[in-house]
């Protein structure tokens, strides 16, 4: 007997066939590349995506060489599709020492489809379990990534026009 789903026009709300990412999925190449990035510094960044067919497969899309610039990394992020990225950010501390941080960036641009955004949001936990020692962040625009990496100052959205007079 089929359940009656009145709110969804007779369609099931959840599709059991659509698996985002299996927790036991083979991420061997991605984990290997991550360890090369983290421990051996063979790469500057890596960008990966979920398969479009809902099979739960994860594809390593781009790996940046160690001398890549931030602009090279930003140019790999599509404007209308979601991605996961790990970026090795080199910077100087307040006392002038060179330091490095690894960022796990969930790239969820506003132009992406809602289904795509939901799939990447659901899959994020699986990847966070696999990658240790990274700072978790989410970005919807290139500007947000630049603010995250301290390449741009965060714009103050406060309204100092004086629209309201309290006299």
CATH code where residue 63 lies: 3.40.20.10
Tell me if 30 is assigned to some domain: no
pLDDT (0 to 100) of residue 165: 56
CA 63 to chain CA centroid, nearest Å: 15
Q: Is residue 21 part of a domain?
A: no
Structurally, the chain folds into a number of domains equal to 1
pLDDT score, position 12: 45
Q: What is the pTM of this model?
A: 0.78
Within 33-134, strands assigned E span 45-50, 58-64, 83-92, 98-107
Does residue 9 sit within a domain?
no
Give the structural domain span for 79.
Answer: 46-148
The pLDDT of residue 6 is 55
Q: Would you give the distance in Å from CA 4 to the centre of its chain?
A: 37
128 falls within a domain:
yes
Q: List the chain pLDDT tens, one digit each, 167 residues.
A: 455 555 555 554 444 445 456 666 678 888 999 999 999 999 999 999 988 776 667 889 999 999 999 999 999 999 999 999 999 999 998 999 999 999 999 999 999 999 889 889 988 888 888 899 999 999 999 999 999 998 887 775 555 555 555 55
């Amino acid at each position: 007997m089929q359940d009656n789903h009145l709110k969804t026009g007779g369609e099931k709300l959840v599709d059991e066939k659509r698996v985002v990412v299996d927790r036991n999925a083979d991420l061997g190449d991605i984990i290997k590349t991550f360890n090369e990035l983290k421990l051996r510094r063979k790469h500057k960044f890596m960008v990966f995506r979920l398969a479009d067919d809902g099979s739960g497969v994860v594809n390593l899309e781009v790996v940046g060489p160690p001398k890549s610039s931030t602009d090279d990394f930003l140019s790999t992020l599509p404007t209308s599709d979601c991605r996961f990225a790990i970026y090795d950010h080199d910077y100087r501390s307040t006392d002038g020492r060179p330091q490095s941080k690894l960022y796990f960036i969930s790239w969820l641009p506003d132009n992406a489809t809602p289904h795509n955004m939901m799939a990447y949001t659901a899959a994020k936990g699986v990847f966070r379990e696999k990658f240790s020692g990274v700072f978790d962040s989410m970005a919807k625009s290139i500007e947000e990534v630049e603010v995250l990496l301290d390449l741009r100052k965060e714009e103050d959205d406060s309204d100092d026009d004086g629209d309201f007079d309290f006299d």
